[in-house]
Amino acid sequence: MAKLLEYENGLRVCVVPLPIRSVMTGIWVGTGSRYESASDNGISHFTEHVMFKGTHKMSAYDIANAFEGYGASVNAFTSKESTCYYYKCIDKYNEQCFALLCDIFFNSVFPEEELDKERKVIVEEINMVEDAPDEICSDLMFSAAFGDSVLGQTILGPKQNVMRFTGDDVKKYIEKRYTADNVVIVFAGNISEEDADRLIRGFVLDRFKNGRCNDEKKPAAFITGRQLKRIKDTEQTNIVLAFPSVSLCDERRIVVQSVLSCLFGGGMSSRLFQSIRERKGLAYSIYTMPAAYSDAGAFTVCMNNSPDNTRRALLSVKDEIEKLCNDGITEDELKRSKIQLVSSLAFSEESVQSQMMSFGKALICTNNMFDINRKIELTESIRKEEVEQFVREYISRDLLTAAYVGKAYDDDILEIMK
């Protein structure tokens, strides 16, 4: 059973024992692109990258060599609301790997020659996104739905910001955001509560020198009735239709949303897939993708198709939304969706990575422990009426916002969807 350890400096540590031979450990920080201003947009992601450029004792090569010498994998990611540094190893080498990760987290140095190289690496990452129309369309959707700040900003930031960030900028950002009360450490796998506490006291507890994180989170609000287009010479158009939705903290309705997403666009038997792809052949890829954050959310329909099929595909999606709003769902659809979601939760319980991710995200974004049994109980208890009420409240074409990437397209997407 998972256990939460809380320390006087505000640090929270979650231990998720699993009957396996490996351990996956993540150091989560409650920071990401939503906490940035326009002038420092991208600093969270930049910091994550340069944390691996060496410590007082180890070079970047030494770090990689040490982890791989223990047969471990190490990585990190930045999202809109969190940054996570993690590794996976066999239980025999967990203490050594944890010591390495803590050395990175607390003792990183930022030599200018390494920062110069990493700036170029991140610019290449931005270029890679610019070559991926679906990634561009996702970023456009967030910008349309949430504006140019908070959740609307990209995670990577603009190139001009990346090219001028300095080591001092990173140090100031770490001092401001990487505080004990804003950090969660998750151990998942073959580790006991006692061993986790010993590691924390040995490598972490007295290392936080800065105070509390007093940076206030700016509220996010969904903006309806907007559309953004990026003209790009692609073979297919990419479209995201977005509706306002619930936050991660809305415990029951976030599950209702999952049930709806599953039956409407969550798989090969879903309504959108069967109608748009299987029966009409208008798109290769069409699916729903809820995006939920600590205080806001969006329910999205994503598709890509040839330019000749764009209008027909949009009208077909409109028809399916009308059927959903007017006729509701069937008991059979509800049952099938709940079975799929419960099965997915059960499968995730067998994955050390899923467990580390679920517990870390829940604590960082909602301040609550992830409880898979509670999640399963909630899923199984969702009623048909709740899903239909959710549709009435959120899946209204009057609330729609849209993003488009592809060849020049003069038609107004929102007008087509009315």
Distance of alpha carbon 18 from alpha carbon 167, whole angstroms: 39
Angle at 261 between CA 288 and CA 18, to 5 degrees: 105
Angle at 274 between CA 270 and CA 279, to 5 degrees: 175
Collapsing DSSP to helix, strand or coil, 289 comes out as: strand
Distance of alpha carbon 67 from alpha carbon 294, whole angstroms: 33
Nearest to 388 by CA among 259, 265, 272: 259
Assigned token pair, 303: 């598709």
Assigned token pair, 375: 């999640």
- By CB atoms closer than 10 A (0-12, 13-18, 19+), residue 410 is exposed
Assigned token pair, 98: 């944890």
Beta bridge partners of 304: 238, 285
Q: Are 335 and 53 in contact (CB under 8 A)?
A: no
Nearest to 213 by CA among 173, 249, 185, 248: 173
DSSP category for residue 277: I
Question: Which residue of the set 6, 8, 48, 393 is catalytic?
Answer: 48
Answer yes or no: 48 catalytic: yes
Distance of alpha carbon 240 from alpha carbon 119, whole angstroms: 30
- Residue 28 backbone phi and psi in degrees, to 5: -100, 140
Collapsing DSSP to helix, strand or coil, 220 comes out as: coil
Q: Are 276 and 126 in contact (CB under 8 A)?
A: no
The structure tokens 């239909």 sit at 388
Q: What is the DSSP string of 20-62?
A: SSEEEEEEEES-SGGG--STTTTHHHHHHHHTTSBBSS-BHHH
Beta bridge partners of 319: none
Please give the positions annotated as active site: 48
